């Protein structure tokens, strides 16, 4: 479901901006045999935290690129020929080779590597049928569809595919802690809440209990916190509308804030209070800040940029200034790079690709140590 932020907020009208001229460069792990991805100049004077920038994809719609634990590969979701809706792919940053992991049927979302990189997980609707589920009817306004996803694990080559968590309804947005715990969103108990699966893959605990949507969660580097996006409507008409949409398998995402919580549900607190659509949070490698996408500078617009805030929300730094969509950021585990999705080089209106930025020494000093 994270994908639908791009589909509507960006695809229906983001503006194009000149990014810069191609120049030589190679991504992490480069050696003489490594193909050169398209190198771009960061926006002059406006993206001071990036030393270099590479475009990693240039076909189809691409989003949610997440590093393997050894930082040599990215797993991401993409709609590209011959597939009519999102499938999960892995890109090797050392060789440039790309291969599909998901079964090529149904719609998939939210791929992630498990520790030691021997397995990946993702959510898929292929158990319902081979066709792409229909896009939501927007006659009730802009909504996300809650497809019938279950969570699966497989080898990175796509083999040994098997279910990890199955229940009626929506099971998706799964990510993994360094110790193997998995956090995900599910509505199998009547609301969109966060759950943690222990590393034994047998014990599952509910984390959040506030009425409303909680999702897009990630663990902190030390596993002591979870950061997520949430919308908790006030009791009354707003909450009534939320549950009415939920019964029809929809959710409306215009207002979302960033929260943190302990994995056992304690110490829930709100980080952002800007009234915009804040999503795709991820902890900085030192665990002191969170990076996320937001339209806080122009709430309810389609212009999303990346921001970094401390856990109180009082100190916030804007990272990107592209007039369009930037989202889904993740730091490499060695904290030298940031991967994110953007439509800054769109060939078609709103086309979204993956980009890799080398961080400056200042950024590494602030966010890594």
> Which residues lie closer than 8 Å to 364 by C-beta, 6 or more apart?
335, 336
The predicted structure's pLDDT at residue 9: 39
How many CB atoms sit inside 10 A of residue 49's CB? 21
pLDDT by residue for the chain (369 residues), tens only, comes to 544 444 443 333 332 222 233 334 556 655 444 456 888 888 877 899 999 999 999 999 999 999 999 999 999 999 999 999 999 999 999 989 999 999 999 999 999 999 999 999 999 999 999 999 998 888 878 889 999 999 999 999 999 999 999 999 999 999 999 999 999 999 999 999 999 999 999 999 999 999 999 999 999 999 999 999 999 999 999 999 999 999 999 998 878 999 999 999 999 999 999 989 999 999 999 999 999 999 998 877 788 999 999 999 889 999 999 999 999 999 999 999 999 999 999 988 889 999 999 999 999 999 998
DSSP per-residue string spanning 59-105: SSEEEEEEE-TTSSEEEEEEE-TT-SS-EEEEEETTT--EEE-S-SS
Q: Which two tokens stand for residue 73?
A: 């590969």
Range of the domain at 285: 4-368
Distance CA 286, CA 367 (A): 6
Of the CA atoms within 13 Å of residue 295, those in its CB half-sphere come to 21
> Which residue shows structure tokens 């009626």?
168
CATH number where 135 lies: 2.120.10.30
Predicted TM-score (pTM) of the model is 0.90
Q: Which two tokens stand for residue 68?
A: 């393997």
Assess contact for 97 and 90: CB atoms under 8 A.
no
DSSP per-residue string spanning 163-204: EEE--SS-EEEEEE-TTS-EEEEE-TTSS-EEEEE-TTSS-E
The predicted structure's pLDDT at residue 29: 57
Sheet holding 326-331, edge to edge: 38-40, 50-55, 353-359, 337-342, 326-331
Q: Which two tokens stand for residue 95?
A: 């060789």
Q: Which two tokens stand for residue 352?
A: 């979204």
Number of domains making up the chain: 1
**∠ CA 361-362-368, rounded to 5°:** 80
The predicted structure's pLDDT at residue 350: 83
Residue 367: in which H helix or E strand, if any?
helix 361-368
Residue 251 DSSP SS3: strand
């Amino acid at each position: 479901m994270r994908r639908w932020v791009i589909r509507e907020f960006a695809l229906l009208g983001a503006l194009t901006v000149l990014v810069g001229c191609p120049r030589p460069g190679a991504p992490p792990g480069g050696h003489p045999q490594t193909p050169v991805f398209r190198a771009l100049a960061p926006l002059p004077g406006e993206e001071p935290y990036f030393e270099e920038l590479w475009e990693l994809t240039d076909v189809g719609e691409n989003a949610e690129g997440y590093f393997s634990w050894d930082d040599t590969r990215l797993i991401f979701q993409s709609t590209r020929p011959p597939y009519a809706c999102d499938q999960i792919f892995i890109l090797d940053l050392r060789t440039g080779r790309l291969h599909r992991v998901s079964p090529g049927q149904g719609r998939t979302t939210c791929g992630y590597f498990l520790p030691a990189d021997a397995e990946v997980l993702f959510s898929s609707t292929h158990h319902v049928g081979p066709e792409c589920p229909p896009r939501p009817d927007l006659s009730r306004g802009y909504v996300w569809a809650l497809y019938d996803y279950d969570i699966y694990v497989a080898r990175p080559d796509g083999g040994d595919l098997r279910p990890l968590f199955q229940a009626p309804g929506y099971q998706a947005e799964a990510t993994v802690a360094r110790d193997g715990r998995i956090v995900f969103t599910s509505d199998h108990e009547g609301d969109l809440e966060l759950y943690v699966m222990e590393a034994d893959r047998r014990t599952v605990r509910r984390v959040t209990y506030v009425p409303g949507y909680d999702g897009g969660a990630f663990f902190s580097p030390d596993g002591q916190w979870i950061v997520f996006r949430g919308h908790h409507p006030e009791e009354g008409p707003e909450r009534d509308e939320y549950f009415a949409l939920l019964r029809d398998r929809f959710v409306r995402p215009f207002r979302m804030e960033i929260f943190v919580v302990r994995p056992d549900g304690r110490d829930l607190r709100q980080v952002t209070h800007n009234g915009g659509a804040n999503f795709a949070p991820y902890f900085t490698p030192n665990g002191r800040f969170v990076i996320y996408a937001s339209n806080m500078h122009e709430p309810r617009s389609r212009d999303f940029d990346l921001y970094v805030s401390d856990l109180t929300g009082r100190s916030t730094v804007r990272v990107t200034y592209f007039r369009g969509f930037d989202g889904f950021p993740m730091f490499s585990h060695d904290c030298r790079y940031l991967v994110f999705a953007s439509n800054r080089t769109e060939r078609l209106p709103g086309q979204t690709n993956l980009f890799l930025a080398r961080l400056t020494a200042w950024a590494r000093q602030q966010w890594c140590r």
